[in-house]
Structure 1
Amino acid sequence: MITVYSKPNCMQCEMSKRYLKDKGIEFKEINVFEDADSLEMLRSAGLTQMPVVMAEGHDPITGFRPNMLAKLGESDD
């Protein structure tokens, strides 16, 4: 499962979600302004730039990184 942690009015968040949708990669979105526990978890891990894209077996991806997002699709069964 891929999780995209995002915040409102974040251009990089929108671009990352659009990229994943365009590539047919399924993901769950969590708005960190609505989920304080998720925000605290990210901060504790030193992840402060949005979006943060997490997928099992991959390092967290911060910001809009299409080259890294493409790898998520490659490993999708």
Structure 2
Amino acid sequence: MTVTLYTKPGCFPCAKTLQKFQEAGIEPRVIDLTENPAALEYVSEELGYSQAPIVVVDDEFHWAGLNPGCIERAIQSLTRNAAG
């Protein structure tokens, strides 16, 4: 399972979210919304988000903004799945 992190340049919450995943040994797929119009359309039109970062774990588990509780839940889910 891969977590996808949609970011913007200079976005502090984006950097902190990425840092939290990396500290847990998870390397998210990072997509810059300013360079990928299709990704921007997906997160705004399909998911309904207008704030970066947008984190997509799967079709049911995604959020926008710096959300430590969701980050921790995602890390637990991803590390549990990787272990077994």
Q: TM-score, normalised by structure 2?
A: 0.84
2:58 aligned residue (56, 59, 64): 56
Alpha-carbon shift at residue 46 of structure 1 (Å) = 1.3
- 2:29 maps to what in 1? 28
**Identity, % of aligned pairs?**
26
Q: Going by fraction, where is helix more abundant, 1 or 2?
A: 2
Instruction: Tell me which structure has the larger Cα radius of gyration.
Output: 2
The answer to which of 51-60 and 39-48 deviates more is: 51-60
Unmatched 5+ stretches in structure 2: none
Structure 2 residue 73 is the aligned partner of structure 1 residue 68: no
* Structure 1 range deviating more: 26-35 or 57-66: 57-66
Figure out how many residues of one structure are paired with residues of the other and give that number.
77
The offset of 1:25, in angstroms, is 1.6
Taking the aligned partners of 1:29 and 1:64, their CA distance within structure 2 comes to 15
The amino acid of 2:63's aligned partner reads I
Distance 1:20 1:71, change over 3 A: same
What is the TM-score with the length of structure 1 in the denominator? Answer: 0.91
- CA shift for structure 1 position 75: 1.4
Aligned-residue RMSD, C-alpha: 1.2
Q: In structure 1, what is the equivalent of residue 7 of structure 2?
A: 6
The ranges of structure 1 where at least 4 consecutive aligned residues each deviate by more than 3 angstroms after the TM superposition are none
SS of residue in 2 equivalent to 1:61: strand
- Does the residue aligned with 1:50 lie in a helix, a strand or coil? coil
Q: Distance in 1 between matches of 2:42 and 2:34?
A: 13
